[in-house]
Structure 1
Amino acid sequence: MTARDVSVWYGATQAISDVSIDIDQDKVTAFIGPSGCGKSTFLRTLNRMNDTIASARVKGDIRLDGEDVYAREMDVVQLRARVGMVFQKPNPFPKSIYENVAYGPRIHGLASSKADMDRIVERSLTRAGLWGEVKDRLSDSGTALSGGQQQRLCIARAIAVDPEVILMDEPCSALDPIATAKIEELIHELKGRYAIVVVTHNMQQAARVSQRTAFFHLGQLVEYGQTSDIFTNPREERTRDYITGRYG
């Protein structure tokens, strides 16, 4: 995915200014920066989630496999299948575990039979590290799972439609340390199969899970590069000040 000169306004307020970035297929990219700096706003431009906000306006060029994401002929439902999203708070549907995962493949016509759908559900839950814990209770409600399990169910739901990109907006902020460790482990396992973008306030988490890091500040992309370079040898003084805890 590529973004060039992307700006976002909410009404008269500019939230993002001229952000350009490449998101690599086989790497995890972390977006870091203080609260309100534009990380989540920019993340939401990548699959047009800002379309759901009446006052939002996006300018610039965002492409997925060379296709203009904001082109009039772009099918937004298909786009969000190709660019899946996992939110800050787990949000399983009030349906069974099985139906949570089967929902996307069903509306996109990805399974031609019940056996096909069973395979997709099992594969998605396995990839999300959840199959072993839920295989005997697939008919239970997804909302009955623990917080960490619900978040992994949401990841299984996102990957069930075989996306190219997975966007994760603070996926661990509502979870305890054990559940967080499982999600981080899962991100490692999914790397290479999908392009993954993770927004996080937790710099240690960014250092653990990502290969590339983008630092945002006051609606601008200050610095973007190898995670190891950003954390040990940042080029910009603002990045250094944030990493060392002078503000944020």
Structure 2
Amino acid sequence: MPDATVVHDEVVMADGAKMTARDVDVFYGEKQAVDKVSIDVDSHYVTAFIGPSGCGKSTFLRCFNRMNDTIDIARVGGRIELDGKDIYDPKMDVVQLRARVGMVFQKPNPFPKSIYENIAYGPRIHGLASAKADMDEIVERSLTRAGLWNEVKDRLDESGTAMSGGQQQRLCIARAIAVDPEVILMDEPCSALDPIATARIEELIDDLRGNYAIVIVTHNMQQAARVSQRTAFFHLGNLVEYGGTEAIFTNPRADRTRDYITGRFG
């Protein structure tokens, strides 16, 4: 692998991070996909993971809520903490972890249920509403936060799968925030959407910033520059550079970051 020296701006590796990763490795069988990555995720900022296809950014993202557990040949090493607790501790309740660390996938994946039931599903499982009025409030609040309430309030009984692609993705975001997560992971949430829907999702990310720690994987560097305050550049399974987004895009300190930002590879 290339030089493993990582350029970390000290401003993004501070005490009090919501999630921390230290020396994280990920293997798929014998193939190493992520090599000794250390990063802090702060609640107050949107953090973007950028890099060419196959660089390990999505694999690393999935470590934060143990989605790699669902892949038989995947093996994760190192340590990842949420509020100082090791999320790979055998005593960790993975269902509870995934309620605290929600995920929005590349392709919108609403349940084949009504819009209302898409949102109500998680709170019902986790016992967050004891009466229908409580559930109604959660559904309305979640859809409002996702910028969908005014569009769907008169058709909550319609299927979530009948919505447009952009609406479906906002429904999935509403579904994720319905269980009051602390962290939201987004794996290329706009790659299947048209520019107008993409703009709506980017506005939503900006609206949600500060209420949740948000981490977004994107192959779109302009999107990373627009929505994030922290950017991590990955290449060949390595974290190359991590710093403030403006600094990464205007004055990168690692040669590989500069070459990627200027289009010399990727």
TM over 0.5: yes
* Corresponding residue of 2:181: 163
Deviation by residue 1:44-99 (Cα, 9 ceiling, x = unmatched): 00000000000000000000001100000000000000000000000000000000
Q: Aligned equivalents of 1:39 and 1:236: distance in 2?
A: 18
Unaligned runs of 5+ residues in structure 2 are 1-18
Match of 1:176 in 2: 194
Query: 1:172 is aligned with what amino acid?
Result: C
Question: Aligned to 2:170, what secondary structure does the other structure show?
Answer: helix
Q: Any idea what SS the aligned residue of 1:91 has?
A: coil
Task: Measure the CA separation in 2 of the matches of 1:15 and 1:22.
Answer: 20
Q: Say which of 122, 128, 144 aligns to 1:126.
A: 144
What is the CA–CA distance in structure 2 between the aligned matches of 1:21 and 1:144, rounded to whole Å? 39
Indicate the residue corresponding to 2:259 in structure 1: 241
- Structure 2 residue 78 is matched with structure 1 residue 60: yes
- Inter-partner Cα distance in structure 2 for 1:101 and 1:220: 37
Matches within 5 A, 1:111-122: 111-122=129-140
**RMSD value, Cα:** 0.2
- Give the TM-score normalised by the residue count of structure 2: 0.93
What per-residue deviation string (whole Å, max 9, x for no partner) do you get for residues 189-235 of structure 1? 00000000000000000000000000000000000000000000000
1:8 to 26, 33, 36: 26
Measure the CA separation in 1 of the matches of 2:261 and 2:150.
38
Tell me which residue corresponds to 2:39: 21
Offset of 1:245 from its aligned partner? 0.3
| Unaligned stretches of 5+ residues in structure 1 | none
**Equivalence for 1:78:** 96
Counterpart of 1:19 in structure 2: which amino acid? Answer: V
In structure 2, what is the equivalent of residue 143 of structure 1?
Answer: 161
Deviation of the 1:112 alpha carbon: 1.1
Per-residue deviation, 1:146: 0.1
- SS of 1:201's equivalent in the other structure is coil
Partner secondary structure for residue 174 of structure 2 = helix
Per the alignment, residue 221 of structure 1 pairs with 239
Identity fraction in percent:
83
> Counterpart amino acid of 1:228?
E
CA distance in 2, matches of 1:200, 1:211: 14
User: Structure 1: which amino acid aligns with 2:67?
Assistant: M
Provide the C-alpha distance between the structure 2 equivalents of 1:118 and 1:170, rounded to a whole number of angstroms. Answer: 30
- Following the alignment from structure 1 to structure 2, what is the Cα–Cα distance between the partners of residues 95 and 67? 35
User: 2:49 matched to which residue of 1?
Assistant: 31
Query: Secondary structure, in 3 states, of the residue corresponding to 1:116?
Result: helix
CA distance in 2, matches of 1:57, 1:166: 23
TM-score (norm 1): 1.00
**CA separation in 2, counterparts of 1:56 and 1:44?**
11
Rounded to whole Å, the distance in 1 between the matches of 2:191 and 2:255 is: 27
CA displacement, residues 4-50 of structure 1 (integer Å, 9 cap, x when unaligned): 00000000000000000000001000000000000000000000000
Per the alignment, residue 87 of structure 1 pairs with: 105
